Structure 1
């Protein structure tokens, strides 16, 4: 058994924040799929999209998922918003969806201390209407894939990580 926890959800929902809080409390190692791809490519996600396009980036996500499946266990994996499309997601571990409405996510990003950089590093969030459409397209798929759903609008960060730990038997 891999014992990985796979955090999925729309960009900006707080996967990285949740992962960092989780590791602080439970000592589990965390990795971020976007960070892995940026390291491999030696470019930020935004620059990868600009130079090579989305299809190339999705190919990098699949290669990352294949590596995780072969090499990673006992880890919390924070995934980019589109990572749910990898063909072997369910083989990587327990899939946990951080779920929130589009408006909640957008307001979270817009009112963050470093909101400009938070929005700038998410290339698919540059146009609010397109981002909302993308959210609507992904919402059902996220829920269908999830083993555990966490409503981040109704829970504090501490409640979220305790709930994930309980559901994933950490």
Structure 2
């Protein structure tokens, strides 16, 4: 296991992976099954900027958004402990990722991610809030570029394709040896 998992000062779990893979969904389920609280980096940025990610991309561009991610990463490293953190698809590029916590890569194929998004009851909304998915060819190329980089940054890789949220959470709890809250998991 990595040194971040053994560091008593830093017990955060940081989910990385391509946009739409289910980082937020898995984080929320893991929060329910453990004694931790959760944060979403995109939500933090939207709160900090008082506008949606899509608007930041449209008005300021991707470079400005990545600067906001770096600012958020520094804040997380300095101020957050024992949390479950879901990130945006490009957050893995921040320099201090491994100092924030144990990095868990939620891995799926591009087709698996698109099938997951398109099968959602709010598919239009899910796709609309991800500006980098608007061009199929560019999105696929971005996925192919990022997949090996996610793997390099990860302390742990969890395959999520064609698996239930409960199966994925159970594997994460087992692999990271997390304390499960019995009362929440018995229902």
TM-score by length of 2: 0.89
- Judge conservation of contact 1:5–1:168 (CA < 8 Å) in 2: no
Structure 2 stretches lacking a partner, 5+ long: 1-8, 179-187
Runs of 4+, deviation exceeding 6 Å: none
- Judge conservation of contact 1:6–1:77 (CA < 8 Å) in 2: yes
The Cα shift of 1:164 comes to 1.1
Structure 1 counterpart SS, 2:10: coil
Structure 1 stretches lacking a partner, 5+ long: none
Structure 1 counterpart SS, 2:103: strand
Deviations 1:50-91 (A, max 9, x none): 010000000000000000000000000000000000000011
In 2, Cα distance between equivalents of 1:156 and 1:95? 21
Tell me which structure has the larger Cα radius of gyration.
2
The Cα shift of 1:152 comes to 0.3
Q: Which of 147, 166, 169 is the matching residue for 2:174?
A: 166
The Cα shift of 1:168 comes to 2.0
The Cα shift of 1:154 comes to 4.8
**Partner of residue 71, structure 2:** 63
- Judge conservation of contact 1:3–1:93 (CA < 8 Å) in 2: yes
The Cα shift of 1:139 comes to 0.4
Matched positions, count: 170
Question: For the aligned residues, what is the CA RMSD?
Answer: 0.9
Q: Which of 84, 89, 95 is the matching residue for 1:76?
A: 84
**Partner of residue 49, structure 2:** 41
The Cα shift of 1:124 comes to 0.3
The Cα shift of 1:159 comes to 1.6
Q: Which of 110, 126, 134 is the matching residue for 1:102?
A: 110
Write out aligned runs for 1:18-37 (5 A): 18-37=26-45
TM-score by length of 1: 0.97
